[in-house]
């Protein structure tokens, strides 16, 4: 999905909920979709302020749920205090994460069997699956050898 298409989707979603497209929300959207990597709320605030310096932390925190509910962003919880976010390019959440614990880089890996697993296991328990996540924590081999984590920003 192109950024233009995503922006339209955002506007449509807001309209469908009786919400308004404001300069602040637009700045947050643009900042989010300019990111190439996973980002945190605080990083998003910095980048949104570079576009519109009137954006406040509160508005970022109020806008993030709107963007995840509308599937524009995907929330990635890797078990740290911080939540990470990522523009949701596909509508398919069948993705696993590999997290380098040395530099916190997050790799996204397709894992189509996850959905099958989730529904098989849920059904046995009398439950209806909503979502599933598969995450691998790992050390960087290069770090051990050279003292430098090759994934570092």
Partner DNA sequence: CTGCCTGCAAACTCTTTGCACGAAT
Partner DNA sequence: ATTCGTGCAAAGAGTTTGCAGGCAG
Residues that bind DNA (CB under 7 A): 14, 18-20, 22-25, 40-42, 54-59, 61-65, 81-83
Give Cα 72 to chain centroid, integer Å.
Answer: 9
Residues, the chain, total? Answer: 153
Site residues for its own copies per CB under 8 A? 77, 79, 96, 98, 100-101, 107, 109, 111, 114, 117-118, 121-122, 125-142, 144, 150
Distances in Å between the Cα of 86 and the Cα atoms of 83, 89, 116 are 10, 9, 24
CA angle 136, 138, 144 (to 5 degrees): 175
Complex with its own copies: residue 54 or 137, whichever CB lies closer:
137
114 binds, among DNA, its own copies, none (CB under 5 to 8 A by kind): its own copies
Return the half-sphere exposure (C-beta side, CA atoms, 13 A cut-off) of residue 13: 19
Using the minimum distance from each CB to DNA, give the nearer residue, 77 or 141: 77
Closest approach of DNA to the CB of residue 31, in Å? 13
Strand partners, 39: 85
Residue with smaller CB distance to DNA, 42 or 141: 42
Nearest CB to its own copies, comparing residues 19 and 127? 127
Q: What angle do CA 143, 146, 152 make, to 5 degrees?
A: 45
1 binds, among its own copies, DNA, none (CB under 5 to 8 A by kind): none
> Which of DNA, its own copies, none does residue 109 bind (CB under 5 to 8 Å by kind)?
its own copies
**Contact present, 28 and 59 (Cβ < 8 Å):** yes
């Amino acid at each position: 999905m192109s950024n233009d298409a995503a922006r339209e989707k955002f506007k449509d979603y807001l309209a469908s909920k009786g919400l308004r497209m404001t300069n602040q929300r637009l700045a947050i959207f643009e900042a989010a979709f300019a990111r190439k990597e996973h980002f945190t709320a605080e990083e998003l605030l910095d980048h949104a302020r570079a576009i519109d310096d009137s954006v406040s932390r509160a508005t970022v925190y109020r806008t993030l749920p709107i963007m995840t509910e509308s599937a524009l962003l995907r929330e990635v919880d890797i078990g740290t205090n911080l939540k990470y976010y990522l523009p949701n390019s596909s509508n398919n959440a069948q993705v696993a994460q590999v997290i380098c614990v040395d530099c916190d880089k997050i790799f996204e890996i397709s894992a189509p069997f996850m959905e099958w697993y989730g529904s098989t296991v849920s059904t046995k328990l009398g439950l209806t699956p909503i979502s599933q996540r598969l995450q691998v924590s790992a050390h960087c081999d290069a770090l051990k050898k050279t003292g430098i984590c090759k994934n570092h920003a």
